[in-house]
Amino acid sequence: MSVDRSLCVIARAKAKTDQVAQVREILTALVDATRREPGCLSYELLQNHDDPTDFAFVERWASPAAEQAHFATQHISVALQQVVGLLAADPEICRYRTLK
């Protein structure tokens, strides 16, 4: 039986109410560059329909190492600097493994 070593990540960020457009622009800019990273199987950015301040990335990585390498990229480093002061709370990152 083959073991799925991929990693699913759900990363949430909550923008300050008056910073939604700017946060959306910063986060949207991450999508294409991240999808080109080695080990990125999928990377989707969502915005909550009922609460536009609530953003979520749903990510699938080939391995935990691929996800960790993601944090060393230039585009992530720049985005993390750009969102300083624009978020209502620290981002929440949850990592999951597929059970079935």
3-state secondary structure of 41: strand
Does the pLDDT value for residue 1 go beyond 70? no
Rounded to two decimals, what is the model's pTM? 0.91
CA distances from 22 to 14, 19, 37, 53, 94 (A): 12, 5, 24, 11, 24
Q: What domains are defined for the chain?
A: 7-96 (3.30.70.100)
- Amino acid 14: pLDDT: 98
- Amino acid 99: pLDDT: 81
Tell me the average pLDDT of the chain.
94
For 45: left if phi > 0, alpha if psi spans -120 to 50, otherwise beta; the answer is: beta
Least confident of 3-7, 9-13, 27-31, 35-39: 3-7
Tokens of 94: 């949850």
pLDDT digits (tens, 9 = 90+) for 17-44: 999 999 999 999 999 999 999 999 999 9
Neighbours of 69 (CB within 10 A): 16
